[in-house]
With several copies, the nearest count.
Chain A
Amino acid sequence: MGINKIYKTVEEAIADIPDGATIMIGGFGHAIDRPQTLIKALANKGVKNLTIISNSAGVAGKLGIGSVGGKPFIDEELLVENGQVKKVICSVPASLVMSKPNAFEKLYREGKIELECIPQGTLVERIRAGGAGLGGFYTPTGVGTLIEEGKEKRIIEGREMILEFALKADYALIRAYKADTMGNLIYQGIMRSFNAIMPQAAKVAIVEVDEIVEAGELDPEGIVTPGIFIDRIVKIPREESK
Chain B
Amino acid sequence: MKERLSREVIALRAAREFFDGAVVNLGGGIPALAANFVPEGRTVIFHTENGALGFGPVPRSESETKPHLMGASGIPFMPQPGMCFFHHADSFAMIRGGHIDITVLGALQVSEKGDLANWTFPKRMVGNIGGGMDLAFGCPQVIVTMEHITPSGELKILKECTYPLTAPRCVSKIVTDIAFLIVTEEGLVLKEVAPGWTVDEVQAVTEPKLIIGDDLKEMEL
- Residues on A lying within 8 angstroms of B by beta carbon are 1-3, 28-33, 55, 59-60, 65-69, 91-94, 96, 98, 104-105, 108-109, 115, 117-122, 124-125, 127-128, 130-134, 139-147, 180-182, 184, 187-197, 200, 214-217, 220-221, 223-224, 226-229, 238
Contact = CB atoms under 8 A, between A and B. Distances in A.
B134 A192 contact: no
Given A30-B67, A121-B134, A141-B138, A187 B85 contact: yes
B127 A124 contact: no
28 contacts: A1-B41, A30-B67, A30-B74, A68-B67, A91-B130, A94-B124, A104-B126, A108-B125, A120-B131, A120-B134, A121-B138, A122-B134, A124-B88, A128-B93, A131-B93, A132-B93, A133-B98, A139-B96, A140-B138, A141-B134, A188-B68, A189-B69, A190-B70, A195-B87, A196-B88, A200-B94, A226-B86, A228-B94
A226 B48 CA distance: 13
Contact of A28 (B72, B165, B168): B72
Given A32-B68, A66-B74, A120-B131, A215 B82 contact: yes
B88 A193 contact: yes
Contacts of B27: none
Contacts of B168: 143-145
A3 B101 CA distance: 14
Contacts of A238: 67
A119 B134 contact: yes
Interface string B51-88: 11110000000100111111110101001111111111
Interface in B31-46: 41-43, 45
A165 B164 CA distance: 23
A109 B68 contact: no
A93 B128 contact: yes
Interface in B109-129: 124-129
B196 interface: no
Given A32-B68, A117-B127, A132-B97, A215 B81 contact: yes
Contacts of B79: 220
Contacts of B83: 220
A228 B88 contact: no
Contacts of B149: none
B70 to A, nearest CB: 5
Given A121-B134, A142-B133, A190-B69, A2 B126 contact: no
Given A1-B43, A119-B133, A190-B71, 11 more contacts: A32-B67, A32-B70, A109-B125, A120-B130, A124-B92, A128-B93, A190-B48, A192-B51, A193-B91, A220-B79, A227-B84
A191 B83 CA distance: 15
B128 A96 contact: yes
Contacts of A2: 20-21, 43
A141 B132 CA distance: 10
A235 to B, nearest CB: 18
* B interface bracket (residues with beta carbon within 8 Å of A): 35 or more
Interface of A is mostly: loop
B94 to A, nearest CB: 7
A185 to B, nearest CB: 10
- Top 6 nearest A-B pairs by Cβ distance? A216-B81, A189-B68, A133-B96, A121-B92, A132-B93, A215-B82
A119 B97 contact: no
Given A105-B126, A117-B129, A68 B82 contact: no
A192 B66 CA distance: 15
Interface string B165-176: 111100000000
B44 to A, nearest CB: 9
Contacts of A32: 67-68, 70
A40 to B, nearest CB: 18
B82 A120 contact: no
A220 B96 contact: no
